[in-house]
């Protein structure tokens, strides 16, 4: 079987800004299609997104690895669910709560993926303090308690409003507007409280409005 392209992670250093926008648009549409069919993915991250460049220079995007996906059409869909996924992309409620909105958890993971796709700041990753503590917990290097959980949540809250772009590098006004729009999308996707977090339809609608504004 022919391999379909490379992972988004492998492409990150070679993409132009416009290519990143197009790839993100396709990812949003794919996740929206999955959610509209009442499925969730459970492990969205750059390594699970394949990107293939055709002869004309355009990109085709596919999602892979559905090991953690859930069919929400099944009556017993969550009864035997065990919290799994990639730590760096898991939402706070997936880590600290027994009640999980899996659709909103997908949106969180997509938000972290979006940060990795667009980030041009000196900040290499989101929630590094929280992730470090969680890895130490998993390796049993610390005795976990409410103090550590509070520190993790503080890290999540502090990084939710991280900028995507270095403003001093922006020269074109239309780009600045689109950059600001993208940051608004990111903030909507990374709301700590699931009920306040955007769903994938809101992400898609706001992104399309931003792209129409940019094109004009």
CATH number at residue 187: 1.10.510.10
* Mean pLDDT of the region 95-118: 94
Any domain includes 104: yes
Burial of 98: CB neighbours in 10 Å, binned 0-12, 13-18, 19+: exposed
Is residue 141 in a domain?
no
Any domain includes 96: yes
Q: Does the structure show a pLDDT above 60 at 173?
A: yes
Q: In whole numbers, what is the pLDDT of the chain averaged over residues? A: 88
CA distances from 18 to 21, 32, 57, 187, 215 (A): 5, 21, 12, 21, 12
pLDDT at 117 over 70: yes
Domain span at residue 62 reads 6-67+84-126+162-215
The answer to whether position 145 is within a domain reads: no
Give the total number of structural domains in the chain: 1
Is the confidence at residue 1, as pLDDT, over 50?
Answer: no
Residue 78 lies in a domain: no
Any domain includes 205: yes
pTM (two decimals) = 0.91
User: Number of C-alpha atoms within 13 angstroms, CB side, residue 101?
Assistant: 14
Are 31 and 106 contacting, i.e. CB atoms less than 8 angstroms apart?
yes
In a domain, 28, yes or no: yes
| pLDDT over 50 at 11, yes or no | yes
Average pLDDT over residues 209-213: 94
Q: What is the mean pLDDT of the segment spanning 167-172?
A: 60
Residue 113 — very low, low, confident or very high, per pLDDT cuts 50/70/90? very high
Instruction: Examine residue 131 and state whether it is found in any structural domain, yes or no.
Output: no
Q: Could you report the per-residue pLDDT of 54-102, keeping only the tens digit for each?
A: 877 788 999 999 999 999 987 555 555 556 789 999 999 999 998 899 9
pLDDT at residue 163 tops 50: yes
**Range of weakest confidence among 73-82, 134-143, 149-158:** 73-82
List, in sequence order, every residue forming a beta bridge with 61; answer none if it has no partner. 51
Cα–Cα distance between 105 and 137 in angstroms, integer?
A: 21
Per-residue pLDDT at 127 exceeds 80: yes
Question: Which residue, chain included where needed, has tokens 């017993």?
Answer: 76
């Amino acid at each position: 079987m022919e391999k379909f392209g490379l992972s988004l992670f492998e492409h990150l250093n070679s993409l132009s800004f416009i290519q990143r926008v197009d790839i993100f648009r396709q990812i949003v549409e794919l996740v929206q299609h999955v959610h509209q069919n009442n499925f969730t993915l459970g492990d969205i991250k750059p390594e699970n997104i394949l990107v293939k460049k055709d002869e004309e220079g355009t990109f085709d995007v596919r999602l892979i690895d559905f090991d953690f996906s859930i069919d929400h059409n099944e009556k017993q869909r969550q009864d035997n669910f065990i919290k799994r996924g990639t730590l760096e992309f898991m939402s706070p409620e997936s880590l600290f709560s027994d009640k999980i909105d899996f659709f909103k958890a997908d949106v969180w993971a997509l938000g972290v993926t979006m940060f990795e796709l667009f980030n041009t700041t000196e900040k290499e990753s989101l929630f590094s303090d929280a992730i470090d503590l969680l890895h130490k917990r998993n390796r049993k290097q610390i005795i976990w308690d409410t103090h550590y959980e509070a520190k993790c949540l503080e890290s999540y809250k502090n990084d939710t409003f991280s900028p995507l772009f270095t403003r001093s590098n922006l020269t074109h006004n239309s780009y600045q507007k689109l950059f600001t729009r993208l940051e608004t999308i990111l903030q909507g996707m990374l709301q700590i409280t699931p009920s306040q977090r955007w769903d994938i339809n809101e992400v898609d609608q706001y992104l399309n409005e931003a792209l129409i504004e940019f094109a004009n």
